[in-house]
Amino acid sequence: MLQRISSKTVSAREVRPALAALQPVENATLALRVYRGLREMLMAGQVQPGQKLTLRELAGALGTSPMPVREAVQRLAVEGALEALPNRTIRVPVMTKTRFREVRRIRIALEGLAVEEATRHLRAPDFARLEKYNGEFTRGLQRRHPDLSRVFRANKELHFAVYEAAAMPVLLGAIESLWLQIGPVLYLSLRTRADYRGRSPAPDWHSRLLGALRRRDAVSARRALEGDLMSAGEQILAEGELPE
Amino acid sequence: MLQRISSKTVSAREVRPALAALQPVENATLALRVYRGLREMLMAGQVQPGQKLTLRELAGALGTSPMPVREAVQRLAVEGALEALPNRTIRVPVMTKTRFREVRRIRIALEGLAVEEATRHLRAPDFARLEKYNGEFTRGLQRRHPDLSRVFRANKELHFAVYEAAAMPVLLGAIESLWLQIGPVLYLSLRTRADYRGRSPAPDWHSRLLGALRRRDAVSARRALEGDLMSAGEQILAEGELPE
DNA sequence: CTAAGTATAATGTGATCACATATCAACCTT
DNA sequence: AAGGTTGATATGTGATCACATTATACTTAG
């Protein structure tokens, strides 16, 4: 969360139609690209919780000097996606069950607020996109061998499409930070399961959520979101093999 | 905001009573000390919103190289206490009225959750400390020329003593991050007012909160906190001269 | 006189180096 | 054999330097 503020200068493509073909050039700092790379790696669950990381090792793998890695790692540590131990070593945080439950409660508070607020902002054209994401999600789950990374992406896009509609940037940043902490565990714990089919939550919380949003029923929308987070969380707690 | 994880090794003072007089030695990195210094500066409202900062300037003032300042500033930017513009310049964020209202809503959600949870954890001896802070706060306000920094500190200590009792570390970090964003505005806007006496909130929300906590009445405790945040916020919005 | 272009100064970024500290193994002492 | 010591290796931290980019002031064309 909290990338650099996006540039507000008028882009040239709008001024000169002849230059419309120009792609925006990559302008980000090296540290920012390293940050995004590590972030992806974490959210995709490609590193084991508790694993120790060294700056030089990461720098070597990424082909940079340790400097930008330092910034990126430090940033992820502030967000809770990595852990800076007092020994001055860095490791992937271990998500305990109690910690998972705590994050779930915070998520219900914050994402519930976002859903309530989004109820007042969502317009008809928005729902097309929401339905599309929800379709990808449910269809992905019904496949014989679900591509979990696609399913998770659709789930994330659905949730954040709603949250962004709330138009509360600070809140959005806080929610993203929590997803970053939960992401690796979520993916890892579900990836270990052989069969995910038929486990779609008994009440289809996503559809209930979208229905409530269409009716501008903030209370029901919040309740549907709570159901979604609680039931998904119970699956993780039951089968995710979290310590403690 | 996730400092380094505190060391869990058994401190020597508990093992050998003879060494009880030993003070813990300063072990933090330079970057961490710079971070704390800047943090204090921001929370105390010693810099103007919108003011631009440069690394070399800060480093010169602090007597260090730009390096640790870089880390500290980057960290504060992640937490939202500073702003990294796309021009690669750093400035103190400007708090608009709408942004202030958004943060207030998030605070009510998070700090309300903390209060509810604290209701189940607070024990009799805890209340002595809470009453002490509350006493400092109200007495400080009744003075002819209130020392606002003392009043704010007492207020902060009271609130966080409750939040810490909730025993939810992730939640505590999120709340601290919000206070860090609000702090400078809070102090600045109130400092400009000539007279603060007699403005103590009509219903004494702090006392109501403590009373509800004693009775283990989570609902009333949350309501008291909401009243506190809302009424304090209205004062800022009315007299704080925030832009927009 | 206004706006575009240009030169100079200043700033953040990234690389490299030096150093204090932590980690771990082998070794020694009791 | 257990606890302590010592030495070697590796790691994060901070300083210094080089460079691309940005900001600012100045100049110049229209």
Label the pairing between strands B52-53 and B90-91.
antiparallel
Residues B82 and B186 in one domain: no
Q: Choose the most confident range, by mean pLDDT, from A27-36, A145-154, A220-229, B32-41.
A: A220-229
CATH number for the domain that contains residue B44: 1.10.10.10
Together in a domain, B178 and B119? yes
Decide if A21 is inside a domain. no
Q: Are strands A83-84 and B52-53 parallel, antiparallel or unpaired?
A: unpaired
3-state secondary structure of B222: helix
Q: Which of A105-119, A123-137, A208-222, B140-154 has the lowest mean pLDDT?
A: B140-154
Question: What is the predicted pLDDT for the residue at A3?
Answer: 38
In this prediction, residue B136 carries a pLDDT of 93
Closest nucleotide to B85: CA versus each C1': C12
Which CATH number characterizes residue B132's domain?
A: 1.20.120.530
> What are the chain B neighbours of A5 within 8 Å (beta carbons)?
83-86
Task: Provide the H-helix boundaries in A20-168.
Answer: 30-43, 55-62, 66-79, 97-119, 124-142, 148-165
Q: Report helix, strand or coil for B240.
A: coil
Listed residues B68, B91, B114: the one ending a domain = B91
Q: Which of A61, A76, A91 is the last residue of a domain?
A: A91
**A230 and A129 inside one domain:** yes
Q: Is the CB of B91 under 7 A from strand C?
A: no
Instruction: Check residue A83 and report its DSSP letter.
Output: E
Same domain, B127 and B208: yes
Residue that terminates a domain, selected from A72, A91, A110: A91
In tens, the pLDDT along B203-242 reads: 789 999 999 999 999 999 999 999 999 998 988 888 777 8
Of A56 and B21, the structure prediction assigns the larger pLDDT to A56
Residue B3 forms part of a structural domain? no
Both tokens assigned to A242? 């979290």
Domain that holds residue B173: 97-239
Q: What is the mean pLDDT of residues A45-53?
A: 86
Chain B residues in contact with A102 by the CB 8 A cut-off are: 168-171
Are A107 and A215 contained in the same domain? yes
B123 touches strand D (CB under 7 A): no
Nearest-angstrom CA–CA distance, A128 and A136: 12
Please work out, in degrees rounded to the nearest 5, the angle formed at the alpha carbon of residue A112 by the alpha carbons of A111 and A114: 60
Q: Nearest CB to B84: which of A1, A4, A168?
A: A4
Total domain count for chain B?
A: 2
Confidence (pLDDT) at B29: 84
Mutate to test the interface with B, among A98, A106, A178, A181 (most CBs of B within 10 A): A106
Whether residues B55 and B155 share a domain: the answer is: no
Question: Of B70, B74, B79, nearest to B43 (Cα)?
Answer: B79
Strand partners, A91: A52, A83
Q: How far apart are CA B205 and CA B221, in angstroms?
A: 9
Q: Based on the domain organization, do B223 and B113 belong to the same domain?
A: yes
Sign of CA dihedral B114, B120, B125, B128: positive
Q: In the block, which residue shows the tokens 């309740």? A: A223
Report the distance from CA of residue A22 to the C1' of nucleotide C4 in Å, as an integer: 24
| Å between B106 CA and nearest CA of chain A | 7
Chain D: nucleotides below 7 Å from protein CB are 10-17, 21-23
Convert B166-179 to b/e letters by CB count within 10 Å (16 or more is b): bebebbbbbbbbbb
Residue A130 CA to residue A160 CA, distance in Å, equals: 10
Does residue B118 fall inside a structural domain?
A: yes
Residues A120-140: pLDDT tens digits? 999 989 999 999 999 999 888
Phi and psi angles of residue B121, each rounded to the nearest 5 degrees, phi first: -110, -25
Please check whether strand C approaches the CB of A200 to within 7 Å: no
Q: Of all helices (H) and strands (E), which one includes residue B91?
A: strand B90-91
Q: Do B4 and A78 touch (CB under 8 A)?
A: no
The verdict on residue A244 lying in a domain is: no
Residue A8 domain-assigned (yes or no): no
Q: Which nucleotide is nearest to B70 (CA to C1')?
A: C12
Q: How far is CA A86 from each of CA A109, B115, B144, rounded to the nearest angstrom?
A: 31, 30, 46
Measured between beta carbons, the chain B residues lying within 8 angstroms of A6 are 86
B85 phi-psi bin (left φ>0, alpha ψ -120 to 50, beta other): beta
Domain assignment of residue B244, yes or no: no
Calculate the angstrom distance between C1' of C27 and CA of A65: 38
